[in-house]
Amino acid sequence: MTIKRFSSGFSLVELMVGIIIALLGSLVILQVFSITEQSKQTTTSGSDAQQNGALAMLLMDKDMRQAGYGMNVTACTGPCAGSGFMGGTVNINDSGPRTVAATPFVFAPILIMQGAANAPDTIVVSYGNAATTSVPEYTRGDMRSGTDSINVNSNNMETYSVYGYSLGDVLVLADATTGTGDVIQYSGADNTDDRVKHETGSYQLGPVTQAFRYNDGVLPVYGGGSLLFNLGPAPVNNSYSIVQDSAGRRNLVQTNNMTGSQSIIAADIVDLQAEYGKDTDNDDVIETWDTVTPTGANFAALNSAWEQVKAVRYGLVARSIKREPACNVTTTLPVWRPDGTTTKTFSNVGTNADWQCYRYRVFETTNVLRNLIWTP
Ligand SMILES: [Ca+2]
Ligand SMILES: [Ca+2]
């Protein structure tokens, strides 16, 4: 007797039902995964903006805390009475390699170049880094030509010698009557007559031979009572501006105006606005916050107007990298408070047609120009 054995298994209908259930399961899993991924990217892009903005603020703040070091003038009697140089225009006679052209150096801790209409502002930060002197000397006169050495007032000191300069130090020779100056570089001293030299050629810095890069200019003759500031081996005159790249991204760019080099220091920074804090009645308390760069009918008036600038306040906007699918993640333009209370809008953010598809973070701070506390 044979036993007929039926082979057990799925029928075609059972198989198809099974496949459909598996497909539905996969769909649900994919859907959940997609939603999770989307929310993860949104969270990450928000933190990108947070990080970029914080980095931008950190780097700018680090520079601004030093703004004005070595640039102030203490009270002086004699031929130089009352003369300061804040707000003067200094030529950077640079023979070194540059990626951007040398622009005149406005001799002030902070210069805000207001963007046209509501475009981003550019903030220029300046300071010296001399290890020894942080106050200028007055010249004794007799600079006989534009390349002649400079007779400094060292006879005010105990020793009859040129004091406080190191080879390669970058100096600013300034005429406080006209408000113009020139960057030069210290190339040695002639101690028989207290003279500071600013020759072309090169010098040895440790194992490295360096060229004097700021001594090629033909200078006007500077008379007695001119100021000689020692800004040290590597003074800073940095511009911070928003530059749009070829892909349409806006980044915070730092330009080193002394050497002409440029770099992106924080990505996706879409606006930068700044205002001056001014003490207009000379009681060391700021009462005015505005965007007006000091002016004056003559240099003395311009100098006084600059000496009212005691602080800078600035705000910047960082944008998330991710463009959200729904363009309603931001509904109002970001704002800041330049004087601490009045609200102002970052209008430049809205010039991107799809600005509402991104998230933004606002950062704002005040930097007191504390290196100017000795200003007369
Ligand atoms: Ca502005
Ligand atoms: Ca005041």
Instruction: Give 283 Cα–ligand 2 centroid separation in angstroms.
Output: 5
285 CA to centre of ligand 2 in angstroms = 4
| pLDDT for 376 | 46
Instruction: Specify if 22 maps to a domain.
Output: no
- pLDDT for 160 equals 52
So what's the pLDDT on residue 4?
A: 58
Q: Is the pLDDT of residue 175 over 50?
A: yes
Residue 57 falls within a domain, yes or no?
Answer: yes
Looking at the domain assignment, is residue 56 inside a domain? Answer: yes
In the reported structure, the alpha carbon of residue 120 is separated from the centroid of ligand 1 by a whole-number distance in angstroms of 6
Could you tell me which residue, 263 or 177, shows the higher pLDDT? 263
Residues 270 and 248 placed together within one structural domain of the fold: yes
Quote the radius of gyration of the chain (alpha carbons, Å): 31
For position 302, what pLDDT does the model report? 93
pLDDT tens figures, 313-343: 999 999 999 899 889 999 999 999 998 899 9
Ligand nearest to the CA of 344: 1
Longest CA span, the chain: 136
Task: Give 277 Cα–ligand 2 centroid separation in angstroms.
Answer: 10
| Range of weakest confidence among 74-88, 297-311, 356-370 | 74-88
What is the residue range of 172's domain? Answer: 88-106+129-230
Q: Measured in angstroms, how far is the CA atom of residue 99 from the centroid of ligand 1?
A: 26
Q: What span, in angstroms and rounded, lies between the C-alpha atoms of 257 and 60?
A: 15
pTM of the predicted model over 0.85: yes
Beta bridge partners of 181: 90, 174
pLDDT at 159: 47
In a domain, residue 36? The reply is no
Q: Are residues 243 and 366 in the same domain?
A: yes
Question: What is the rounded distance in angstroms from the CA atom of residue 161 to the CA atom of residue 69?
Answer: 24
Query: Do residue 268 and residue 218 come from a single domain?
Result: no
Residue carrying structure tokens 């989307």: 38
* Percent of the chain whose pLDDT exceeds 70: 90
The span from the CA of 274 to the CA of 362, in Å, is 13
Tokens describing residue 136? 């200028």
Which residues, 6 or more positions from 369, have their beta carbon under 8 angstroms from its beta carbon?
A: 67, 68, 109, 110, 309, 310, 311, 312
Let me know whether 219 and 245 are in one domain: no
- At residue 258, the pLDDT reads 97
pLDDT digits (tens, 9 = 90+) for 35-93: 887 777 666 667 889 999 999 999 999 999 999 999 987 555 555 545 689 999 999 99
Classify residue 120 as exposed, middle or buried by CB count within 10 Å of its CB (0-12, 13-18, 19+): buried
Instruction: Please spell the DSSP secondary structure of 167-210, one letter per residue.
Output: TT-EEEEEETTTTEEEEEE--EEETTTTEEE--SSEEEETTEEE
Any bridge partners for residue 239, and if so which? 124, 255
- Mark whether 98 and 216 lie in a shared domain: yes
How remote is the CA of residue 351 from the centroid of ligand 2, in Å? 37
Query: What pLDDT, on the 0 to 100 scale, is given for residue 158?
Result: 44
d(CA 51, ligand 1 centre) in Å:
24
Q: Do 337 and 242 share a domain, yes or no?
A: yes
Q: How far apart are CA 214 and CA 186, in angstroms?
A: 9
Segment 361-371 mean pLDDT: 93
Sign of CA dihedral 43, 44, 46, 50: positive
Query: Which domain-ending residue is among 171, 198, 230?
Result: 230
- Give per-residue pLDDT as tens, 268-298: 999 999 999 999 998 889 999 999 999 999 9
Is residue 2 scored above 80 in pLDDT?
no
Contact predicate 339/360, CB 8 Å: no
What's residue 153's pLDDT?
A: 64
177 and 221 co-located in one domain: yes
Please provide the size of the chain in residues: 376
pLDDT, one tens digit per residue, over 105-147 is 999 999 999 999 999 999 999 999 988 767 788 888 767 777 8
- Please tell me the distance from the alpha carbon of residue 38 to that of residue 61, in angstroms, as a whole number: 34
Identify whether residues 259 and 327 lie together within a single domain. Answer: yes
B/e letters for 307-322, b = 16+ CB within 10 Å, e = fewer, are bbbbbbbbbbbbbbbb
DSSP secondary structure letter of residue 239: E
- With beta carbons less than 8 A apart as the criterion, state whether 89 and 107 touch: yes
| Whether residue 64 is found in the same domain as residue 187 | no
Asked if residue 5 has pLDDT above 70, the reply is: no
Total domains present in the chain:
2
pLDDT of residue 3: 58
Q: What percent of the chain has pLDDT over 90?
A: 64
Among 142-151, 209-218, 264-273, the range of highest mean pLDDT: 264-273
Domain end among 188, 206, 230: 230
Band (pLDDT 50/70/90 cuts) for residue 157 is: very low
Contact 352, 333 (CB under 8 A): no
| Of 284, 292, 175, residue with least CA distance to 223 | 175
Which residues does 365 contact at the CB level (< 8 Å), separation at least 6? 57, 61, 313, 314, 315
Residue 270 lies in a domain: yes
Residues 227, 156: Cα–Cα separation, whole Å = 15
Q: Which of 201-215, 237-251, 264-278, 360-374 has the lowest average pLDDT?
A: 360-374
What's the whole-number average pLDDT of the chain?
88
Distance CA 80, CA 266 (A): 44
User: Does 319 reside within a domain?
Assistant: yes
